[in-house]
Amino acid sequence: MQIFQDILAFFQSEFFKFVIYLFLYFIVVIWLSFVYWTYRDANQRGTNGLLWALVVFIFNFFGLLIYLILRPSEYVQDVMERELEIETKESLMNLQILKCPACGNDVEKDFFICPYCRKKLKNSCPKCGKPLQLNWSICPFCKTPL
């Protein structure tokens, strides 16, 4: 049967070896790029990039799957940006406290009461008498719970 001999010859040919090597080469390239991607992604998410890269290197697709399930859902940069945003909002709120929320007149930071409309602005600590924000649950100056 000539056809079997032809097929056999094909599998033994240099061309077939070349195709196999090319295939293996692509597998390795994809594998290594998975490892590299995991390393970078894990570092960006604030976990141990080297450790996860090793996991993907050893377990390959299975390791990548584990990483995708277990990785932190947020980038470190996002978390930092959100914290910065909260800080900005808090400092804005601190600035707003300098205006009376009821009448809008300027009040000073340690006023207990608005001198214009008599709105209560601060509580005074029962122990040390320092001005406390209305929503504080403990005096930050003398540690008295309120």
**Which residues are near Zn ion by CB under 5 A?**
100, 102-103, 114, 116-117, 119, 125, 127-128, 139, 141-142, 144
Q: Which residues contact 145 (CB under 8 A, 6 or more apart)?
A: 137, 138, 139
Q: Residue 62 or 116: which CB sits closer to Zn ion? A: 116
Q: Residue 97 or 102: which CB sits closer to Zn ion? A: 102
CB of 138 to Zn ion, least distance (A): 9
Q: Residue 54 or 102: which CB sits closer to Zn ion? A: 102
Helices (H), the chain: 2-12, 14-44, 49-59, 61-70, 76-96
- Other C-beta atoms closer than 10 Å to the C-beta of 94 total 11
Q: What are phi and psi of 53, to 5 degrees?
A: -60, -40
Q: Residue 80 or 128: which CB sits closer to Zn ion? A: 128
CB of 103 to Zn ion, least distance (A): 3
CB of 94 to Zn ion, least distance (A): 18
43 class by beta-carbon count within 10 Å (0-12 exposed, 13-18 middle, 19+ buried)? middle
CB of 135 to Zn ion, least distance (A): 16
